Structure 1
């Protein structure tokens, strides 16, 4: 029923970065620390209760209540949040049928819906933008185009279509983009897109921005058709391009309206096009952004020369090249660089290449080396790492390197400068990585080590039940000593944050973990090794048995009492003693197990530790004796010895300081109910005295929480009864009077139903 929460020495409030030194980090800290917009909060509630609030059609799909309508901006946001949370399915997408919604932006990234649902639910809206990035193969690119072209309004007015990583079935033939004559922006990267499709797309009358990265294009000559209107061209990793360099540059030179050009390479394709582009004269007169990351032979001198000849350039991509290291790139005002020379370039690269796993790996590796000894909190950088983890959940290298970066960015006190919401997102991503790569030990170590951070464990919201179940599984499935220490550390903290119902739901996981924790304690005791693993294991057992009779029973059935007696006989450290007695305090509260503590060995140690100079040790020993005193079953001592022990208990409590004293650690409780039988037992005044002292003590430390708990659980009538009862011991009565007087204001609400 009891556990210790050691107060942190560090302040818990957010320590944002200096806005003058790190404007981006300061902005991210402020954004993440601010509450969600009211619209977002309302939509989150709606999404969480969708099936309760929305009627079901005969076919099983959902529809909005009859009189509901959504403004266009809210409808767009609602759809985006459904997609983001992974809750957009055929069943929920049907909400967008009919005229109660008015969509303009259809964001269906990475969702799984059928072609029929896409057409029926979205293609009757007057859509201006569609983002189908990474959509499941059940909805193919031809299906999307067919659906969009079913609306003459969309054919004329759709401005933006993003199909990155969508699927194209084999033998699909020509993709009919030509009907979408209003398109200004088209992204067909990472799909099966050929030169014939490019020829069709190049004829779109309004096309200005085109991304053809990692496609099957063999020639870009068709771009000459739109040379007078194309402003942005991204063709990263064109692995099938069969043109000579002179032919490529002959096309690029004609694209005189181009403001952004991305010809970045890839580790699997060491391209030198970027190098030769820098040597060209009279090319790209209006260029503002040039990306040649991953290109070979690039030097600072060549890049500087090109930028000086193109003074309008505001961005250059140089990641995975040998350029970007000269002073020119730090002193040139208004120039952003995505590279690996310094933290600023790495941050820019993380932002620019968030969807490219090959560059994300490079960025994260560079970031790891840059932040290995960092001493300031950088929330903006952590946010970018989180985006990379979220966008590439199944890429082992990205997750592994990102987990190492998270560790660098949150170690020791750095987490104090991070907003809780950001840490919550990162924690969820770490657990996702743990589940996706269960056999990659170093990744597991990185994630678990980050999760040992006290601020994350104590203050950050995340699914603690699922997290505990996962970590408990780690405990009994793996025997790596270093990981074992981290795991028991996490378990020892998470266990005290679970409700009684959640603890009971853990079943076999919990029982197997108890067995493993006892094995660890037994091994450390045999080795006489007082280390962190032993302390965390004792704490974990203590907290797992808190108000959990089933776990207490499991502890006893696994010979836990014998193991703990051996611990007391081996170690004399008060920290260990308090954890052992804390667990025995949980055992003694389980009525069917109380008698099992009435052994000569247990009573010998309890009677000795009652006189410990350490207040917590003496407190717990006294509590165990008080509970045993109220048990009517026979003791292993004779009556005289029992009487002497109770007198000893009374004398010890008399020597304690006031109930308002401060122990070195904060004693906290989930409930006071285990105290009630003691408070109501007038035949054992010494047990009453201990229970009253304990309740008084914790209420003194945190009255707003514990006085409320005492009132809600019905403890106030017991105190009033102690105050008024004719059999009450005078000392107990005096303490009860003081208690009620000291906390009168907190008990006002509950006194209405209590006669004092």
Structure 2
């Protein structure tokens, strides 16, 4: 029915994308497949290749995929693909909120378009009206919506003769030359008061069945509507002073849907509301849908009773209460399909006896979700509806979270610039995402939610409430899997949040946690991207800020953890750390917070990554730094982690040989003494120690197995492998096998000069991997053993 436009549900595309959509998306992303492209830097330079024709369904689907699946804004460049109406076909197109201009519209209207939507297309000018009129004979449905600027020239030069109501003038005058038009939507058009513009507009459109003049002013006369003999749906939302036109409206006998709702208080009061509503209902026998939201037409709520002669049988002597809305009492036995009561005076939607099957209001969840569906194109209503929906989630439970998700996403996408809608919508999303429907989210649904939140965050990045809502919602997704498709944009907005000194500290804490989660399990290219966006510099600023305030909190610890993650096997980020005075801040943190185990572990993990980069190791070879690393060999902080990382750093430094040590002008610390202390620490560790470390590759460790001149470095490497394959065989036996580690260990067993303990540990690794293989979880491992 008219009051319930069919809104696309995110739950519909629950299965994988169709082959057609996949092919269309590929062709749109690689236009050279179907188009000749003269220049990629200029518009209107691509044309369909010779011999290619696109059917009607494919052309319209291309526009749908481009907007809905690829999340791109339609503009003239895309429409240029359809400039040949012989080889391409368009019939039903909706360009709301797009960037098309008169040029693109002209291309589209070369086709025999029957349905056209151009609401909120700011690029269209008065010329578009001429283009529409030139193709107007085929158009059956026209949604101009808020693109009322196409009428500006007509308003400027409108002649008074257009208000002539004579039959002779009427046959020669038009604003829209669309004689077969069935549906017209026009919103927010303000015209000069001296002209009866709307009468002139509508008189020639005699085939209209649906008319929407929401917020159009001034509507001086509605008598011309009587000539629209096929009219079944009329929307006069926010049209002022309707009380004087009630008699006219009551003559539209074929109306099935009537909307006379209001959002402003100045126009919503009727002098005799019960009588007027009764007159409307009694006069329109086919009425099934009525919206009186925001008015007083529902009366005060005093029940009316039928007198005996008014009862259905004419014999009843008992007056039975039929309706809590006096003007609707005669519909008690024939209830309306829909009744709009949102924001009516005297809280009409809370009454018990309402003769309607579906009601928009705020009395309960059903009414609120109904209102959200009906008023998706009215932001002033929608914001209130979303606030009511949030209160349902906050103070109770929502019985229909699927529909709630649909209406929230539609509202947020449609009104991205409306901050109040974004805040209210994101607040409800928080409860939906962590609710019982979460296990049923498909990939498409997750992407839809994440992209909607990111759009809102980027648009309203200065609003703390918006960012808080979004971050708290995102935290319920699996990182990075659920968000990897928007990796760059999410990195950008999270870095922006954490870089703001005046930001809500809780939001900053959640944001840096999300950023760290993003960086934790991604490849080198994505780690470099995070560094390219300035992550290292921002983390160092956060650390310096905390040091100045002498605060060691979760933000400080996570800042070091984030740098630990994004420097992993990413030399350029390691260099950025050193260039940003990272070592100076390391020493200050060590001195200021010496007992913070988590902080120390994160810092040493980061320096372990730096030490793996050969070109950067000379910058670590100072007396001060080496003294710190040597001292930390004896640390029992966080189990073995700090001591383990200190030994790893020293192993990599020592792997450069005696010459590098001597060239660094280190005089107090002797290389041999440091290496002995390192072996002593290693042998103190328990091989069964559980670890708080995650290796994506053993390549840096395996490199140390080749360092024959410094067996101490080999010792640390094989101990690390022995520990990890013993405690986590399901992960690290497979990783070691895939990277050729077994072969390297076997070669190590045959090398002269390798001392006994190293060989014992190497055999242990091989045996642990063999045992794991024998359990049926790993491919064959060589039996060779010395």
TM-score bin (small chain)? 0.7 to 0.9
Aligned partners of 2:335, 2:435: CA distance in 1, in Å?
44
Write out per-residue CA displacement over residues 408-428 of structure 1, whole angstroms, 9 at most, x where no aligned residue. Answer: 434588855644433432332
Greater mean alpha carbon deviation, residues 359-368 or residues 373-382: 373-382
Q: What is the DSSP-based 3-state SS (H/G/I as helix, E as strand, rest coil) of the residue aligned with 1:258?
A: coil
Query: For structure 1, which segment, 695-704 or 493-502, has the greater mean C-alpha deviation from structure 2 after superposition?
Result: 695-704
Question: Aligned pair in 2 of structure 1 residues 689, 435: CA closer, same or farther (>3 Å)?
Answer: same
Deviations 1:277-300 (A, max 9, x none): 424262222111111122246455
Instruction: Give the distance between the partners of 1:384 and 1:499, measured in 2 at CA.
Output: 36
How far off its partner does 1:352 sit? Answer: 1.4
**2:586 is aligned with 1:564:** yes
CA deviations on 1:221-255 (whole Å, 9 max, x unpaired) are 211111x311111111114x5x6x2x411111111
For 1:319, what is the secondary structure of its paired residue? coil
Gap change, CA 1:106 and 1:454, over 3 Å in 2? closer
The equivalent of 2:168 in structure 1 is none
SS of residue matched to 1:668: coil
Under a length normalisation based on structure 1, what TM-score does the superposition of the two structures give?
Answer: 0.82
- After superposition, give the CA deviation of every residue in 1:584-642 in whole Å (9 maximum; x if it has no partner): 22222122443526635422442122x55725445434433433442323375335522
- What residue number does 2:507 align with? 483
Alignment gaps of 5+ in structure 2: 1-7, 159-172, 303-322
What's the counterpart of residue 128 of structure 1? 114
Indicate if the aligned counterparts of 1:565 and 1:601 stay in contact, CA closer than 8 A: no
Shift of 1:339: 1.3
* Secondary structure in 1 matching 2:350: coil
Matched-pair contact (CA < 8 Å) for 1:231–1:259: yes
1:324 aligns with 349
Unaligned runs of 5+ in 1: 1-26
Q: 1:421·1:460 contact (CA, 8 Å) conserved in 2?
A: no
Instruction: Out of 29-38 and 210-219, give the one that drifted further.
Output: 29-38
2:652 to 593, 608, 627: 627
- Aligned pairs for 1:710-725 (under 5 A) are 718-719=744-745, 721-722=747-748, 725=751
Question: What does residue range 275-294 of structure 1 map to in structure 2 within 5 Å?
Answer: 275=273, 277-280=276-279, 282-294=282-294
Of 37, 54, 57, the residue aligned with 2:18 is 37
Determine which of 403, 407, 414 is the counterpart of 1:384: 407
Which protein has greater RCO, CA pairs closer than 8 Å, 6+ apart? 1
Map 1:397-476 to 2 at 5 A: 397-410=420-433, 418-455=441-478, 459-476=482-499
Distance in 2, matches of 1:647 and 1:560, equals 28
| Matched residue, 1:206 | 207
Distance 1:210 1:709, change over 3 A: farther
Correspondence for 2:235? 234
Q: How does 1:238-277 map to 2 (within 5 A)?
A: 238-239=239-240, 241=241, 245=243, 247-267=244-264, 269-272=266-269, 275=273, 277=276
Cα distance in 2 for partners of 1:491, 1:478 equals 17
Aligned equivalent of 1:9: none
Contact kept, 8 Å, 2:238 with 2:264, in 1: the verdict is: no
Query: Following TM superposition, by how much is the alpha carbon of 1:677 offset from its aligned partner in structure 2, in angstroms?
Result: 1.6
Say which one has the larger Rg.
Answer: 2
Q: What TM-score do the two structures reach when normalised by structure 2?
A: 0.80
Q: CA deviation at 1:395?
A: 1.6
- Preserved contact between residue 633 and residue 643 of structure 2 (Cα < 8 Å): no
Spell out, residue by residue over 1:358-416, the C-alpha distance to the aligned partner (whole angstroms, 9 max, x if none).
01111122122222245679243133112111111112222232233333434588855
Measure the CA separation in 2 of the matches of 1:231 and 1:702.
Answer: 71
Structure 2 match to 1:76 = 60
Measured in 2, the distance between the counterparts of 1:671 and 1:467 equals 26
Distance (whole Å) between structure 1 residues aligned to residue 73 and residue 290 of structure 2: 38
Contact preservation (8 Å) 1:270, 1:294: no
Q: Contact 1:627/1:678 (CA < 8 Å) preserved in 2?
A: yes
Cα distance in 2 for partners of 1:30, 1:236 equals 31
- Mapped contact 2:492–2:533 kept (Cα < 8 A): no
Contact 1:588–1:628 (CA under 8 A) maintained in structure 2: yes
CA contact (8 A) 2:337 2:358 kept: yes
RMSD over aligned Cα atoms:
3.7
What's the secondary structure of 2:473's corresponding residue? helix
Matched, 1:652 2:649: no
Q: 1:640 to 1:512 in 2, by over 3 A?
A: closer
Which residue of the other structure, out of 74, 80, 98, is the alignment partner of 1:88? 74
1:145 is displaced (CA, Å) by 4.4
**1:515-534, aligned counterparts within 5 Å?**
515-523=540-548, 526-527=550-551, 529=552, 531-534=553-556
Counterpart contact for 1:315–1:336, Cα < 8 Å: yes
* Alignment check: 8 A CA contact 1:320 1:339 kept: yes
The corresponding residue for 2:766 is 737
The whole-number CA distance in structure 2 between the counterparts of 1:409 and 1:208 is 39
Partner residue of 1:158?
Answer: 139
- CA drift of 1:106 comes to 1.8
Greater mean deviation of Cα atoms: 550-559 or 353-362: 550-559
Number of aligned residues: 704
2:399 aligned with 1:368: no
Tell whether the 8 Å contact from 1:518 to 1:560 is kept in structure 2 after alignment: no
